[in-house]
Amino acid sequence: MTDAAPVRLKGVNFSFGEGALRRPVLRDLDLNVAAGEIVLLTGPSGSGKTTLLTLVGALRAMQSGSCVVLGQELMGASETERVTLRRRIGFIFQNHNLLGFLTARQNVAMALELDPSSTEQTRLERAAFMLTSVGLADYLDTPPNKMSGGQRQRVAVARALASGPGLILADEPTAALDRQSGQDVVRLMRDLARQSGMPILLVTHDPRILDIADRVVSMEDGRILAETT
Amino acid sequence: MTAHALLPFRLAWRQLRAERARLFSAIAGVMFACVLVFMQLGFRSALFESASALPRAMQGELFLIHPLTTALFRPEPLPRVRAWQCLAVAGVAEAVPIYLAQTSWRNPVTGARRAIQLVGFDTEAGAVSFPGLSTLIQDLKRPDTVAFDSRSRPEFGPVPAILAERGPFIVQIGNRLTEIVGTVSLGASFGADGNVVMSETNFRRLAKNRDVSNIDLVALRLRPGTDPFAIQTQLTELLPKDVIVLTHDQLVAWERNYWETATPIGFIFAFGSLMGLIVGMVIVYQILFSDVASHLSEYATLKAMGYSSSYLSQVVLSAAAILAGLGFIPGALASAGLYHLVAKATLLPLRMELERSGLVWLLIFGMCVIAGLLAMRKLRDADPADMF
């Protein structure tokens, strides 16, 4: 089963800067995320966990090692290959980053417009379904600036999950939220991902949400320190 | 599939629509550029058209002018005998000398003086046909009579109104009392604010200090079925070098060419148009740039979601195209209104023409596309790797 794991990293090194300023942030890192698994990455600032997430999300070009995400080797992958892979990944950011000039439903539908086989009607229906499943059935046509922080982050979750991605990547999704809405959003993510067997790789500092994970990976200085299940 | 091609366009429209104040200032910017270019190009073509109104009203197939004549409002005289020499060529049926001069006209109401163009010719020869002239031919044979151009500038006085009220009346032209017997329609130009038309004899009475054997232009009527170009070649060989032979189109082009090249007028209007386009481009660029800059994290998110850079570029270019369209339509309507007002005030032939509208649309569209291409560079700053 390990071979078919959605995320397989082997011997990944990554550095920022050139020459004397070269600063390694990931050192010979190995990590697998199995299908349907929820993995939390924790660690102090500068431990490399966010860089790891951008590499897995195909947002940054690899430097050395091997990183296979959803069957695509990212080492040496072209910009086009990375853009195509990103369409199969759901991203949830620290800030919701919803488009302010679109309603909640239109924002979610944006994640579906990349599929040329979809029609406007199927997209809007799917978006409404996703918003209903995150408990925002009454906010379909509300613009983001008329919603609370928790509601916006739930729209972002609905958007990330709408196209049925093979992997969810989340970066501090609770950082901008209070305790209760943070808990709600993360549990919602977990429940929706479990239903469809999507794996989640989540970076967090927030000790209150550690309990949702199947596995917690602690990082420091670009290496994995410990894994707890 | 076509619906998918429209998605970037729809996104651009939704984004523009969300910021009303920004949208309206962008539209106003495009409108401004549009009106400016329309007015500049309109004036330019009106100038060239009105400047060539006199040669255009001539009926001849061929014309003789002195090679040093730069424009008909300031002609170089040529010997009248050249007109008769042309008759030696078999194809030439008639040679009509035309006399041109400027002199002062005293406004019949206020008494103010102003330079007016005199056009003298054999009114029966049919070589010059100004609308209204045919009914006045008998009256113009009397001594000291002229026909006034009703499209002269209003500073010459309300001549058509006085004529309608009390019939022919006396005005002072070049210190001579002359009777206005009627009006013809010709039009003011940049070279002459107004015109009066008269017979050869009456011209000599008004323009006394010139040699009677000197003329300014010759109109040649050819026998039916003769080739004007063959006659033109023949005459050019036959006549001395103090005249050149032009066809009707060449005469109009000669006059036009003076205003286009020998004066800065053509350049001024082209420069004015360019300024308008640059100002419009800067405004559109500012609007598009700030739209991108204030949505950088959203654009980066779209990139993370798998939207390509070229898709986002299409969004910016679509916004530019929308602004071009939304600014051009009211801009063209406003220009049509302004044309009407200015044409009434200046008597210049300003009209909204399809060809010019097409040209202005292309210029405005090009202006917006260039602004869009410049603003697109800001999209590079939307890096999804910075989002985490």
Assess whether A103 and A200 both reside in one domain: no
Q: Do B307 and A84 touch (CB under 8 A)?
A: no
Residues of chain B contacting A100 with CB distance shorter than 8 Å: 18, 295, 298
Give pLDDT tens digits for A102-151.
Answer: 999 999 999 888 888 888 899 999 999 999 988 888 999 999 989 988 89
A1 has pLDDT over 60 = no
The pLDDT, as a whole number, for residue B3 is 52
Which CATH number goes with the domain that contains A10? 3.40.50.300
The pLDDT tens digits for B18-69 are 888 989 989 999 999 999 999 999 988 888 887 788 888 888 899 999 999 9
Q: Assign A2 a pLDDT band (cuts: 50, 70, 90).
A: very low
Do A113 and A154 lie in one domain? The reply is yes
- A99–B304 CB contact, under 8 Å: no
- pLDDT at position B4 is 66
For residue A47, what pLDDT is reported?
Answer: 86
B179 in contact with chain A, both atoms CB, cutoff 8 A: no
Amino acid in position B261 = T
Same domain, A6 and A69: yes
- pLDDT score, position A150: 86
Summary mean pLDDT of chain B:
89
Nearest CB to A59; choose among B4, B7, B304: B304
Average pLDDT over residues B345-350: 79
- Model pLDDT for residues B156-197, shown as the tens digit of each residue: 999 999 999 988 999 999 889 999 999 998 887 777 889 999
Residue that is last in its domain, among A142, A164, A186 = A164
* pLDDT for the residue numbered B386: 75
Give B386 or B247, the one with higher predicted confidence: B247
- Cα maximum dimension of chain B: 96
Distance CA A151, CA B321 (A): 35
Please judge whether A91 and B302 are an interchain contact, meaning their C-beta atoms are less than 8 angstroms apart: no
Q: Would the CB atoms of A91 and B301 count as touching at under 8 Å?
A: yes
Flag if B306 and A114 touch (Cβ within 8 Å).
Answer: yes
Two tokens, residue B311: 């898709």
**Tokens (6 digits) for B188:** 């003011």
B315 contacts in chain A (CB < 8 Å):
none
For residue A59, give the nearest of B1, B295, B385 by CB distance: B385
Alpha-carbon dihedral sign for residues B209, B211, B212, B216: negative
Give the pLDDT score at A3.
53
Cα gap B171→B177, rounded to integer Å: 6
Measured from the Cβ of residue B235, the count of other Cβ atoms closer than 10 Å reads: 22
Q: How confident is the model at residue B95 (pLDDT cuts 50, 70, 90)?
A: very high
Based on the domain organization, do A15 and A101 belong to the same domain?
no
Distance from CA of A143 to the nearest CA of B (A): 11
pLDDT attached to residue B215: 93
Do B3 and A102 count as a contact with CB atoms less than 8 A apart?
A: no
Task: Say yes or no: A74 and A4 in one domain.
Answer: yes
Q: Cβ separation of B385 and A60 shorter than 8 Å? A: yes
Question: Is the predicted pLDDT of residue A185 greater than 90, yes or no?
Answer: no
Q: Contact A116/B4, CB-based, under 8 Å?
A: yes
Q: pLDDT tens-digit profile of B294-321?
A: 888 888 888 888 898 889 999 999 999 9
Interface of A with B (CB under 8 A): 50, 53-54, 57, 59-60, 80, 83-89, 91, 93-95, 97-102, 106, 110-111, 113-114, 116, 119-120, 159, 171, 203
Tell me which chain A residues have a C-beta less than 8 angstroms from the C-beta of B295.
Answer: 99-100
CA distance B304 to chain A (A): 6
Taking residues A47-58, what's their average pLDDT? 89
Q: Say whether both A127 and A202 belong to one domain.
A: no
Enter the ipTM.
0.86
Q: Which residue of B has its CA nearest to A98?
A: B298
Task: Report pLDDT for B2.
Answer: 47
Among A121, A140, A164, the domain-final residue is A164
- Report the number of distinct structural domains present in chain A: 2
**Is residue B127's pLDDT more than 80?**
no
- The CA distance from B264 to the nearest CA of chain A, in Å, is 49
- CA end-to-end span of chain B: 34
Residues A113 and A160 in one domain: yes
User: Are A97 and B298 inside 8 Å of each other by CB?
Assistant: yes
Determine the pLDDT at residue B285: 92
- The whole-number average pLDDT for the span B333-361 is 89
User: Among A124, A145, A164, which residue terminates a domain?
Assistant: A164
Which one of A49, A97, A122, A167 makes the best mutation probe of the B interface by having the most chain B beta carbons within 10 Å? A97
Chain B nearest CA to A90, separation (Å): 7
- Residue B97, pLDDT > 60, answer yes
Identify whether residues A155 and A203 lie together within a single domain. Answer: no
Give the percent of chain B with pLDDT over 90: 54
Q: For residue B1, what pLDDT band results from cuts at 50, 70 and 90?
A: very low
SS3 label, residue B382: coil
Q: What range does the domain containing A176 cover?
A: 1-88+166-229
**CA B106 to chain CA centroid, nearest Å:** 29
- Residue contact A102–B14, C-beta within 8 A: yes
Kindly state whether residues A158 and A178 are assigned to the same domain.
Answer: no
Instruction: Read off the pLDDT band of B210 (50, 70, 90).
Output: confident
- Are both A2 and A76 inside the same structural domain? yes
Spatial separation of the C-alpha atoms in residues A166 and B3, rounded to whole Å? 27
Per-residue pLDDT tens over the stretch B255-269: 888 888 877 878 888
B295–chain A nearest CA distance, Å: 8
Window B:329-388, CB contacts with A under 8 Å: 384-385, 387-388
Instruction: Report the percentage of chain A scoring pLDDT > 90.
Output: 22
Shared domain for A61 and A44, answered yes or no, is yes
Backbone angles phi, psi at B144, to 5 degrees: 55, 50
Answer yes or no: do A82 and A171 share one domain.
yes
